[in-house]
Amino acid sequence: MAADRSRRFMWAAVAGAIVMTVFAAVTVLRASSDSAPPVPPPAAAPAPAVATSAAVDAAAPSATPSASPSPSRSPVPQSQNPAELITGMRTTIRESVRAGQLSPDAGRELGRRLDDAAERLAKGKPGKTRQKLREFTRKLLDLRKEDKISDAVFQSLAAELAAVVRTLPA
């Protein structure tokens, strides 16, 4: 009985962390699509969600086989160069596919969308880059809904995505 409660609590906390991460990513993307610079508080929201999930995972181990440890990348990138951050996201995707936390097909789909965004960024088109990152976000959300990506990888990519959007030129 107590195990059922702790498991329910764990999943409720994970679901809450996912909702907060998605909300923060969508808020950041919408704020960045306006001409005004993004508001800092929503961009900082993914970091606590990652910490919350990690605390839940540490408190109650999951019986789900896809809940293997996340890639060893930092959840909040330190670079201020959007091209470098996109490269870091590609690395996260590659490591996640290798670790079995993301299917190869899903990895290719996400990678293709990142490549499109990086191409627009290299051409000096931040508006088009944001549009491609919104497509990436939609695909990421679809993968999460379909349970084709682990929570840890989802949260890591959402945090990295927020960092990319924050560093894009206006």
Per DSSP, 60 falls in state S
State the total domains in the chain. Answer: 1
Cα–Cα nearest to 94, from 75, 111, 78:
111
* Alpha-carbon distances of 130 from 33, 112, 116, 136, 168, rounded to whole Å: 7, 15, 10, 10, 8
Whole-structure pTM value: 0.58
> pLDDT by residue (tens digit) across 4-50?
655 665 555 555 556 556 555 555 555 554 444 443 333 333 333 33
The domain containing residue 114 runs over which residues?
Answer: 2-167
Residues 6 or more apart whose CB falls under 8 angstroms from that of 114 comprise 86, 89, 90, 93, 136
